[in-house]
Amino acid sequence: MRVELTVNGQKKAADVEPRTLLVHLLREDFGMTGTNVGCDTSSCGACTVLLDGESVKSCTVLAAQADGREVTTIEGLASADGTLHPLQRAFQENHALQCGYCTPGMVMVSMSILAENDTLDEATVREGLEGNLCRCTGYHNIVKAVLAAKEEMGAEL
Amino acid sequence: MTATQTPTQDTSLSPEGNPLGFGRMLRKEDARFVRGQGHYVDDVNLPGMLHSAILRSPYAHARIVSIDTSAAEAHPKVKAVITGKMLEDLKLAWMPTLSGDVVAVLATDKVRFQGQEVAYVVAEDEYSARDALELIEVDYEPLPAVVDAKHALDPDAPIIRDDLEGRADNKIYDWEAGDAAACDEVFSNAEVVVSEDMIYPRVHPAPMETCGSVASLDKVTGKLTMWTTTQAPHAHRTIYALVAGLPEQKIQVISPDIGGGFGNKVGIYPGYVLSIVGSIVTGAPVKWMEDRSENLMSTSFARDYHMHGEIAATKEGKILGLRVHVLADHGAFNGVAQPTKFPAGFFHIFTGSYDYPAAHCKVTAVYTNKALGGVAYACSFRITEAVYLVERMVTCLAYELQMDPAELRMKNLLRPEQFPYMSPTGWEYDSGDYPRALKEAMRIAGYEDLRAEQAARRARATEPGADPSTPLMGIGLSFFTEGVGAGPRKHMDILGLGMADGCELRVHPTGKAQLRLSVQTQGQGHETTFAQIVSHVIGLPPEDIEVVHGDTDNTPFGLGTYGSRSTPVSGAAAAVAAQRIKDKARVIAAAALECSVEDLEWEHGRWYVKGDPSQGKTIAEIAMAAHSSLELPEGVEGHLDASVVYNPPNLTYPFGAYICVVDVDPQTGAVKVRRFIAVDDCGPRINPMIVEGQVHGGLADGLGMALMEVIAFDPDGNNLGGSFMDYLLPTSMECPSWELGETVTPSPHHPIGVKGVGESATVGSPPAVVNAVLDALQIRHADMPFTPAMTWRALQGRPMRPDLAIE
């Protein structure tokens, strides 16, 4: 079947099987390999992307379900000239990543956390990150990074 | 975050004003990872590449009667179906393990654990490959399974390894260390002896990225290129040469970005070999990527030590001896990754951080119908188990003596003047100031106030009308000594490969450098910290030093990254290479400045003429001169390169003092880690930011093991921890904000004084959490993980064995 969707602002289309998962559409058909697969039970969140602005685990969405919708992946965050999104910069500046495998999903879920909360404290950030597993950082610096990004973006949100 | 007692930031700047050497430097590798531009194995996509999947055993123990692959072969997108029989013809059905045993690549005679590899399908895409697995019919004849290690040696236990000539039981080995007679003598005269049985349950390192490979055999050149999730690319190349009979110069192993390793990606798994076979058979590149359940059920587990410990002491709490017998469950094949002469790894460092004369351990290892492994998950070759044992036993002793566990530790800790210290089991600890680290942790924790709060709370709980839901407060300590940096070639090898590591440093004509390493980062930041090491020695800015690793065609031989060995071994190699460059640069500078070598003095990044600092040459200027027509003294070659193989004289012994504070809900058994204080001493810190990140991650591991993680089995050998629905990992909600401290005691034998640290927190933290929970419950011992159910059972005085689903 044919699916047509907007990924990071660009129109994309592919012929997929009805059973094809969104994460595989992104990785295999579109070659956008920033979004990762870390489990098979929808537990880890390494595949998190934004679907019409809301964070979803793309291993648990069919490609067909994304038809006609807007997807934002980690590749779509930095601006065209390469300038990092404040969240990406905050992850680097706070050493919120090590192996980098959970990072795309962590950054994308953090987009939702920032969008959905007018004010943030450690507790709300931790709650927001609960669906995303990290094996390297012990979460401490990820929490710091999200709070730092919030601080920096402040008025913009 | 407390201020460091000894700053480890280099204060010097390059001639251009850039910071040099040690210090908090943001990571180079982040630029690609935060953009989704990392390059992991599953991101590899080659023209014509095929995909593959493995059919696995549903049984823990069963004879294979027949396999019918005809329907799978008829699938329109399937390119090949491979069984054990076909591998037998290629002499590839079995392969050697890192322990000198053999393991089936695909089962031929019978299956020996649930999840074992039985057949392999190569197809045009992964969906089709997995469809085809469903079309393979295997006829099994189930056999009774050996699940409980404690019954593996029963006379009527089924023989798991009937493939091995003359096997009449399930014993793998008995191994001993220490002086049994001296230890028995101490115990027979001791005033106090405390015995305890404890299980360090089977867990799994579960890196976020599972294991996988892309094999591409070029039939024209005969060259095999292998992208794979390996922590030890050079060792893999050598083993592929031995297993597959390919010439080693025709094998290129590329370990690209790795999504975490934690010891899971040291060994060679059947899937890797199968992807090579798939490429040989189909003539196309073949990708194999396991899913999470496969990773948890069939790749290297960790721990699974059943330990009986005994500690002897005086009534005043002076420890006199420690005696331990371990029953080690290795699964169906002995696939433990450890140096050849150390079948139980470095477990015999179990005397820990304390000063006493006598110790002895005996380790008995057995086969069971479970996956293979044992050494993984930041264990430093079984030091997790050793530290857990000693820190639990010391805490049990404090419990019996009704003595504060901090006071008991302080009384027995080794003193700084005792280093280098020869332990009763033969380890020579390099350096340490243990009392200082413990005092620092107690200061950060406010230890006295915590104990006062606990006493007040306990007193209130006994008052009439006290709220029965008031949390029970527990305080747990752990003081650990690690042993990392394997290791001296004379004593340590893996499959005959000595544990020295190579390193090549090239300074290009324009003063930019490349450092080629044999180790392989999986997120620990080597691309940044190794550049800092070179910068520290020769004064080039870290951003001018490119670190190359993970490609066996382009890096020197070495044994890879695990056991926190990168900094102790390869870090030393990099420092020595940089020192050689610095020395040679002096000779070249002397030639360029037309003075004698003795006339030159070093300031960071520059050789200059004594008494006339304006006359000098920076490393960059010297590099250009080294590649120019400048006439050099007799015997001095041009260029500015160095190649080093570093054979460490000893391990490094980092240490730490950890304190955990928990609140336990007495009505539900839920444990909340309120605070965790970790003081680590790994000598000078190359990059304090990265060290802290390593510690944070390890503390989460320890919390996970103590409270959540276990792979249990039912009586039929069904794996009950085979997915993230059952194998629970800590999330942001379980982890507290970690509180770190630092002391600095350099390693005297390391060229720049640094020690490994990556595994310290995983080693040191589980006993701190367990000690805290048991302190809250006011019982001497129960086994982790302290899930609410397990904790509640312990509170009722009916603790369960965590490794079995049914008692």
Which residues of B, range 712-771, sit inside 8 Å of A by Cβ? 723-725, 729, 731-733, 735, 737-738
| Chain A environment of B699 (Cβ under 8 Å) | 138
Clarify whether residues A111 and A129 are in a common domain. yes
Asked if residue A123 is part of any domain, the answer here is yes
Asked if residue A57 is part of any domain, the answer here is yes
Task: Quote ipTM for the complex.
Answer: 0.98
User: What token pair was written down for B170?
Assistant: 């399930």
Q: What is the pLDDT of residue B6?
A: 43
Q: What is the pLDDT of residue B9?
A: 57
Query: Closest Cα to residue A125, out of A138, A116, A135, A137?
Result: A116
Which residues of A, range 15-74, sit inside 8 Å of B by Cβ? 17, 19-20, 27-28, 31-41, 43-44, 46, 73-74
Which residues of B, range 673-702, sit inside 8 Å of A by Cβ? 689-690, 692-701
User: What token pair was written down for B181?
Assistant: 């007679």
Nearest CA in chain B to A19: B127
Clarify whether residues A18 and A64 are in a common domain. yes
CA dihedral (B678, B734, B292, A6) positive or negative: negative
Clarify whether residues A96 and A130 are in a common domain. yes
- Out of A42, A76, A110, a domain closes at A76
Task: Please state, in angstroms and as integers, the Cα–Cα distance from residue B30 to each residue in A37, B33, B44, B312, B316, following that order.
Answer: 19, 5, 20, 50, 53
Asked if residue A129 is part of any domain, the answer here is yes
Clarify whether residues A71 and A92 are in a common domain. no
Clarify whether residues A61 and A126 are in a common domain. no
Asked if residue A81 is part of any domain, the answer here is no
By Cβ distance, the residue of B522, B725, B732 closest to A43 is B725
Q: What is the pLDDT of residue B18?
A: 61
Tens of pLDDT, residue by residue over A20-73, are 999 999 999 999 999 999 999 999 999 999 999 999 999 999 999 999 999 999
Phi, psi of B788 (to 5 degrees): -55, -45
- Out of A54, A76, A98, a domain closes at A76
Asked if residue A146 is part of any domain, the answer here is yes
Cα B487 from Cα A9, distance rounded (Å): 53
- Domain hosting A56: range is 2-76
A135 contact B CB<8A: yes
Q: What CATH code is carried by the domain that includes residue A143? A: 1.10.150.120
CB A82 within 8 A of CB A135: no
| CB within 8 Å: A101 and B38 | yes
Clarify whether residues A104 and A151 are in a common domain. yes
| CB within 8 Å: B729 and A133 | yes
Cα B769 from Cα B786, distance rounded (Å): 9
User: What token pair was written down for B259?
Assistant: 């999504």
- Describe chain B by its helix, strand, coil percentages, rounded to 5: 30, 25, 45
Clarify whether residues A62 and A92 are in a common domain. no
Tens of pLDDT, residue by residue over A69-127, are 999 999 999 999 999 999 999 999 999 999 999 999 999 999 999 999 999 999 999 99
Q: State pTM to two decimals.
A: 0.97
Q: How far is A59 from chain B (nearest CA, A)?
A: 12
Asked if residue A91 is part of any domain, the answer here is yes
Q: What is the pLDDT of residue B1?
A: 33
CB A71 within 8 A of CB A62: no
Q: How far is B232 from chain A (nearest CA, A)?
A: 16
Clarify whether residues A113 and A148 are in a common domain. yes
Clarify whether residues A71 and A131 are in a common domain. no
Burial class (CB in 10 A: 0-12, 13-18, 19+), B12: middle
| CB within 8 Å: A40 and B292 | yes
CB B427 within 8 A of CB B486: no
Instruction: Tell me the CB-side half-sphere exposure of residue B53, using CA atoms within 13 A.
Output: 20
Asked if residue A116 is part of any domain, the answer here is yes
Q: How far is B34 from chain A (nearest CA, A)?
A: 6
Clarify whether residues A72 and A6 are in a common domain. yes
Q: Chain-centre distance of CA B723, in angstroms?
A: 22
| Chain B environment of A131 (Cβ under 8 Å) | 731
**Residues near B724 by Cβ (< 8 Å), separated by ≥ 6?**
A39, A41, A43, A44, A133, B206, B292
Confidence of residue A156 (pLDDT cuts 50, 70, 90): low
Asked if residue A147 is part of any domain, the answer here is yes
Query: Closest Cα to residue B112, out of B375, B366, B372, B299?
Result: B372
Q: Catalogue all structural domains in chain B, each as residue range(s) with its CATH number.
A: 41-143+210-258+265-298 (3.90.1170.50), 500-646 (3.30.365.10)
CB B454 within 8 A of CB B475: yes
B709 contact A CB<8A: no
Number of folded domains in chain A?
2
Clarify whether residues A72 and A18 are in a common domain. yes
Cis geometry, peptide bond prior to residue B233 (ω within 30 degrees of 0): no
Burial class (CB in 10 A: 0-12, 13-18, 19+), B195: exposed
β-sheet bridge partners, residue B313: B192, B319
Cα B136 from Cα B127, distance rounded (Å): 15
| Chain B environment of A133 (Cβ under 8 Å) | 208, 724, 729, 731
Q: What is the pLDDT of residue B16?
A: 58
Task: Please state, in angstroms and as integers, the Cα–Cα distance from residue B224 to each residue in B273, B432, B515, following that order.
Answer: 12, 47, 25
| Chain B environment of A84 (Cβ under 8 Å) | 34-35
- Out of A29, A51, A76, a domain closes at A76
CB B279 within 8 A of CB B252: no
Clarify whether residues A64 and A96 are in a common domain. no
By Cβ distance, the residue of A73, A84, A138 closest to B735 is A138
CB B320 within 8 A of CB B358: yes
Question: Which residue ranges in chain B fall short of pLDDT 70?
Answer: 1-18, 806-807
Q: What CATH code is carried by the domain that includes residue A58? A: 3.10.20.30
**Residues near B471 by Cβ (< 8 Å), separated by ≥ 6?**
B663, B664, B665, B666, B672
A121 contact B CB<8A: no
